[in-house]
Amino acid sequence: MRFRLLGVTALVFSCAATLAAAPNITGVVNAANWLPPDLPNSGIAQGSIFTITGTGLGPSPLQQAFSYPLPNTEGLGGTTITITAGDVAVFGIMVYTSATQVAAILPSSTPVGTAILKLSYQGASDTIAIQVVAANFGTLTLNEGGAGPAVVTDPSYTPITMINPAHPGDTLILWGTGLGAITGSETEPPQQVDLHTGVQVLIGNQPATVTYGGRGSSPGLDQINFVVPAGVTGCKTSIAVLLKGVTGNVTTTSIAPAGQTTCGDTFNALTAANLQKAISSGSLSIAGVELSRTVGEKDTLFAAFGSFPVSRLIRSYGGTTSPSIGSCLSYETYGATLVVTDPIQATPLQTGPQLKITGPSGSKTVDEFSVGIYAGTLATTAPFFIAPGNFTATNGSGGSNVAGFNWNLTLPSSVVPTNMPTGVNRAQDLTLTWSGGSDYSIVSIFGYSAVPKTLTSTQFSWVEFLCTADASAGTFTIPSAILNLLPTNGFGGLFEPGASIQIAGVAESQFSGANAPGLDEGFFTAFISSGAVVNVE
């Protein structure tokens, strides 16, 4: 279950029913971005909506506050929340309660700093420490997962999507929570006044003009009105919100050139022609086969074949985690390893039991992991399998959805960074340069860092950023609004403090028609990255 926005005036929630049990809190997050703990932007803002996860937190089925004033001291469905900071104790303003999730508003009067949140249900309770901050904006996303397409509307509250893009010069509304404290009762609909927080918005890494930043029509729900900068286009144009020096979750929106009714990228499945096809047919069937080796890692293959109904496509990552050219995205997650999973999955397509990859050093086969998904290791040490040269990918006689194909790809010599730094200042932009880009269309620049839960923990809070650049430019500037997502206490490698920053030229071949039977578009990509672990200040 995720926090969602319906018609920008009501909050709607759903959850799976579970048996009541003694409360056990597993986490507290901003209700819009769901960021894991211990990252620079993971605090809970005064006046924001937050979500508590766990078990035994409340009744089953879910109970929601449907009328004003919203309950606080009396709780909801038997669930009450208190937050204590020093000598000050306040009651959480209830939005909904269920056995596994509870949402509430943190009163604006809650002191900044470490606080203890206590949830009580049916005579039992559990507590957890939280970090209260003055402001920390979380952007709502259409998939309710905190990454991917943002909840952005035009002034008439029509959602902006891949099939209904905005245009440079348009005024749009970005929805979320966490702009900061207000005065007055937060159990009633708020006054819609600009909070004058100095909030900044970057669209495709370009500054946008912000015309309003304050509460929307519901308690805890914020809106930021901005104007799309000139010259920005792309189906996955990034949106970064910077507030009091902290960047929230980085999401996307769709911007088309003036006069065009659909957006269109050039290096992925989100071309204008494919989106028009998806509108007319109701779905888009796409596939990607990727060969990759990052610094210090093994050669791997990952491939996915699936079909997205339009209603799911516009809420998904669009078949790739990378943004449109000129943009940077981030993904923040929690686990033993860095795994980015699209909350909106395609319907898998049966493609055959194996993929066979042939390259300069021979052939490898990778078995189907699950229907339409292939993942395998091609080499763990030198001599590596992935090297400059010609590759083919085949699926034999194919499967019931995707017939046999034979895709070709040429991987040129690697892009080489020419000014890789030894350290990164989170408060300053970072310009990177490279050579060898003339053989590629795009360059991917990415970085990641992990913060362990404890010194001996095998669980980490991860942050990864990805930027897509025009390879021929030979240079790209990562905004400080992206770099400040990197923790100063993280690790970019095993026992290596800092962050890993890498550059790769991405070779790509696209296939359709007879070359991609059963698909609207197929992609065969490969890259070998170069980079280093750098200090983060």
- Fold matches, 4-133 and 145-255: yes
Burial letters 289-311, b for 16+ CB under 10 A, else e: bbbbbbbeeebbbebbbbbbebe
Task: Reply yes or no on whether the pLDDT at 408 is more than 60.
Answer: yes
Predicted local distance difference test score (pLDDT) of residue 251: 98
Rounded CA-CA distance 312/291 in Å is 26
Residue 455 has pLDDT above 80, yes or no: no
- Tracing tokens 């509307």 back to the chain, one arrives at 153
N-term to C-term CA, the chain? 36
Q: Are 393 and 402 in contact (CB under 8 A)?
A: no
Q: pTM for the whole thing?
A: 0.93
Sequence spans of domains, the chain? 4-133, 145-255, 272-529
DSSP string spanning 405-452? -EEEEEE-SPPEESS--SEE-TTS-EEEEEE-GGG-SEEEEEEEEEEE
What is the average pLDDT across 510-537? 97
Closest CA to 301 of 290, 316, 286: 290
The widest CA-to-CA distance across the chain, in whole angstroms, is 71
pLDDT band at 321 (very low <50, low <70, confident <90, very high): very high
Q: Identify which of 246, 324, 317, 263 has the alpha carbon closest to the alpha carbon of residue 286.
A: 317
**Which residues lie below 8 Å from residue 80, measured CB to CB, with a gap of 6+?**
73, 74, 91, 92, 119, 120, 121
Instruction: Show the CA angle centred on residue 89, arms to residues 87 and 94, nearest 5°.
Output: 165
Asked if residue 295 has pLDDT above 90, the reply is: yes
Q: What is the pLDDT of residues 133-162, one digit of tens each?
A: 999 999 999 999 999 999 999 999 999 999
Could you tell me which of 438, 459, 448, 186 has the C-alpha nearest to residue 296? 448
pLDDT of residue 453: 84
Q: What is the DSSP letter of 106?
A: P
Q: Is 60 exceeded by the pLDDT of residue 1? A: no
Residue 375 and residue 369 in contact, taking contact as beta carbons nearer than 8 Å: yes
pLDDT tens for 92-122 read 999 999 999 999 999 999 999 999 999 999 9
pLDDT for the residue numbered 294: 95
Confidence grade of residue 10 (pLDDT, cut at 50, 70, 90): very low
> How confident is the model at residue 7, as a pLDDT?
31
Class of CATH domain 145-255? mainly beta
| Cα Rg, the chain, nearest whole Å | 24
Q: What is the pLDDT of residues 393-406, one digit of tens each?
A: 999 999 999 999 99
User: Which amino acid, 177?
Assistant: T
Instruction: Give a three-class secondary structure readout of 337-370.
Output: CCCCCCCCCCEECCCCCEEEEEECCEEEEEEEEE
18 pLDDT higher than 80 = no
User: What backbone phi and psi angles, to 5 degrees, belong to 271?
Assistant: -80, 160
The dihedral over CA atoms of 266, 267, 269, 271, expressed in degrees to the nearest 10, equals: 0
What was the pLDDT predicted at 500? 97
C-alpha dihedral sign at 167, 173, 176, 181: positive
| Predicted confidence (pLDDT) at residue 434 exceeds the cutoff of 90 | yes
pLDDT at 458: 85
Share of the chain above pLDDT 70, in %: 96
Query: How many residues appear in the chain?
Result: 537
Q: What are the tokens at 334? A: 């929690």
pLDDT for the residue numbered 3: 35
Dump pLDDT digits (tens) for 284-294.
999 999 999 99
Sequence-separated (6 or more) residues with CB below 8 Å from residue 30: 42, 44, 45, 48, 49, 50, 51, 136, 138, 177, 178
What is the CATH number assigned to the segment(s) 4-133?
A: 2.60.40.10
Q: Whole-number mean pLDDT of the chain?
A: 94
Which single residue is written with the structure tokens 């763990």? 380
Q: How high is the pLDDT of residue 494? A: 87
Is a pLDDT exceeding 80 seen at residue 17? Answer: no
Q: What are phi and psi of 487, to 5 degrees?
A: -75, 150
